[in-house]
Amino acid sequence: MFFSAGSCFAKELSTEQISQAYYKSYNYEKSGNYQDAIKALQLVYKEYSKAYGVNNRLGYLYRLNAQYKNAESHYKQAISALPDALTPKLGLMYVYLQAQSYDEASKIGYQVLSIDFYNYYGNLRLAYVLRQTGQLELAEKIMIKMLTRYPSDVLYLTELGLLKYKQNDIPRAIAIMQEVLILDPENVDARSVLLALEK
């Protein structure tokens, strides 16, 4: 399924060829050489251009290399191959966030939540989108839902603090960001909000 889902079976690579391509790709990625990590998979992609595995991997590598159009294309192909897979949806959501395509990111976020209601990154990224687009009550509902499950989670507490700051609920924003700094003393967002409120 990893390679064959949605692919043409006319030509196939050996397991060793696929393994070698991935081995090279991961090694290049470790050194931050994303372009060569992508190139290492081209033979696999040529033979399995519609498969989930190679498209999801290429989407991820193109995203790391800030080639967002290519990342989007590969993530969409991975989703086409396996529609219920969450990994390419979360990757695509990240790509849309980078492009500030909040409507598209929101659509993907709700798709993720329809499959996995408590998905950590799906909820976090959707809450961010909702805050950015002024849908503050919806964003807060997501954060409260997730903080019920992860009460001391720094990312969700920070997002809630930023929301309270945007809502001009200053005492609550201060209290939350002070809590964040206890858990994560170097947190840039918390420090920025508290510094802004001191002025």
| pLDDT, tens only, 122-166 | 999 999 999 999 999 999 999 999 999 999 999 999 999 999 999
| Token pair 């920070």 in the structure block, residue | 158
pTM of the model: 0.88
Token representation of residue 47: 């033979």
Token representation of residue 92: 């695509």
Asked if 129 contacts 103 with a C-beta cutoff of 8 angstroms, the reply is no
Cα–Cα distance measured from residue 167 to residue 190, given in angstroms and rounded to the nearest whole number: 16
pLDDT for residue 78 = 98
Spatial CA neighbour of 79 closest among 46, 45, 102, 111: 111
| pLDDT, tens only, 36-94 | 999 999 999 999 999 999 999 999 999 999 999 999 999 999 999 999 999 999 999 99
Q: Which amino acid is at 94?
A: Y
Residue ranges covered by each domain of the chain? 152-199
Token representation of residue 101: 């395509």
pLDDT for residue 9 = 36
The pLDDT confidence band at residue 1, using thresholds 50, 70 and 90, is very low
The pLDDT confidence band at residue 11, using thresholds 50, 70 and 90, is low
pLDDT for residue 12 = 77
CA separation (Å) from 161 to 133, 170, 174, 190?
16, 9, 8, 8
